[in-house]
Amino acid sequence: MTLRTRYICQEFGTFFLLALIIFILLFMIRPFLWFMDLIINHFFTIVTVGKFFLFSFLEVIPDIFVLAFFTAVIGTVARMNMEREYWIFLTSGISGKQMLGFFVVSGFIFCFIEFWFCFFVSPSSTYKSRLLLNQARVDEPMKMFRAKSLIKEFPGISIYVRDIKGISLHEIHIVQRMGSDTVCTITAEKGKIQLNTAGYLYLLLENGFFITHSIERSRIVLKTSFEEYSFQLPYRMVSDFNPHRKPKEMNLFLLVDGLAKHSDNELLVMLFKKIFFVLLPIFYLFIGFYAGTEIRMYGYMHILGIGLLMGLASYFVILAGEGIVYKTGNNWFFLSVPLAFFLLVILLKKRSSNVV
């Protein structure tokens, strides 16, 4: 590795790590708030909350990764320009195109990594994160159950549980009023909370019996034992419990398969967006390189700040393009985003033609 390449690698790596840390802090504010909420207000173990936080990070890693790359390119070139190192390279016979070659190689490497993040890592993590959130809402009613206490939170039902171990209930006694004359008593060795397809909670009871008793006649109407019994609770969860993956939760193969089976506007937009993000390092390396030669900032933090602001501005342009597509229903409007980036590359290249 030549001295020039090693020097650029060191500068690029420093800016990339700093930008990566800052973008992680920015993009992880909302997951961090959810993180605290899951610990405080939901029945969630520390291990499960840690998984949710990790999935939330991997969900946004394609955005963070490519923006950090953009900031690193701008920062490296702008700092070299600030210290006149860029001009030293030019006067020593090393052209701007040769220095640009380093970033081109880096851009293609980042494209391959971004492809893996966009089409496999992020969709899988988004889906797993949703499942964890749904499970948090399912487990939340567990706070109603207290060992050796009479639970009356469910209308018309009284429940007594002798012991609770994790999410398992032991020695359960249920009394339910059925009409004006009938009372049903259910006793089970153990049970756990489940969710049916309609969104209702139910207790999956094991090894017990239930007795139906008539109050007026003072006699048992029915008595039978069971190995497994589903007792539905009058408590419905308001959430999305559809196990099917949403478009943003589909990997490359699922997106292609979904489009092959039927034309779906949302699937097509998601595929366009992911392909664009995979190619985004190529756009960013040219925009960042040409913009870096034009920046006249003095001070390391000033240059880093400009790079971060430019990265966020470009990200908002992408979000705006996606929003226009969903608003109008025309998929081709999303092509305006890469077109805008391409025109920006042409404009910056013309402005920097005398120094590249």
Cα distances (angstroms) measured from residue 69 to each of 177, 180, 221: 65, 70, 73
Neighbouring C-alpha atoms within 13 Å toward the C-beta of 234 = 10
| Distance (Å, whole) CA 264 – CA 280 | 24
Our measurement of the distance from residue 152's CA atom to the centroid of its chain's CA atoms, rounded to an integer in Å, reads: 37
| Distance (Å, whole) CA 35 – CA 354 | 51
- Mean pLDDT of successive 10-residue stretches along the chain, which has 356 residues: 71 92 90 71 68 89 94 88 68 70 89 95 90 70 76 84 84 85 88 76 88 78 86 71 79 89 81 91 93 78 86 89 80 84 90 67
Q: Give the closest residue to 304 by CA, choosing from 10, 9, 11, 66.
A: 11
pLDDT at 45: 67
pLDDT at 286: 93
pTM for this entry? 0.75
Structure tokens at 17: 């790590």
Q: Where are the alpha helices (DSSP H) in the chain?
A: 3-27, 29-41, 46-82, 85-91, 96-116, 122-139, 252-261, 265-294, 300-328, 336-351
Q: Give the closest residue to 271 by CA, choosing from 247, 302, 238, 237.
A: 247
pLDDT at 1: 47
pLDDT at 87: 62
| Distance (Å, whole) CA 61 – CA 155 | 45
**247 contacts 266 by C-beta, under 8 angstroms:** yes
Q: Tell me if residue 221 falls in helix, strand or coil.
A: strand
pLDDT at 132: 78
pLDDT at 117: 96
Structure tokens at 109: 């490497």
Cα R_g (the chain), whole angstroms: 30
| Distance (Å, whole) CA 184 – CA 203 | 15
Sorted by sequence, the CB contacts under 8 Å of residue 171 that are 6+ apart come out as 161, 162, 163, 188, 189, 190
Render pLDDT for 230-288 as a digit per residue (tens, 0 to 9). 888 887 765 555 568 888 899 999 998 888 887 777 888 888 889 999 999 999 999 99
**172 contacts 159 by C-beta, under 8 angstroms:** yes
Neighbouring C-alpha atoms within 13 Å toward the C-beta of 352 = 24
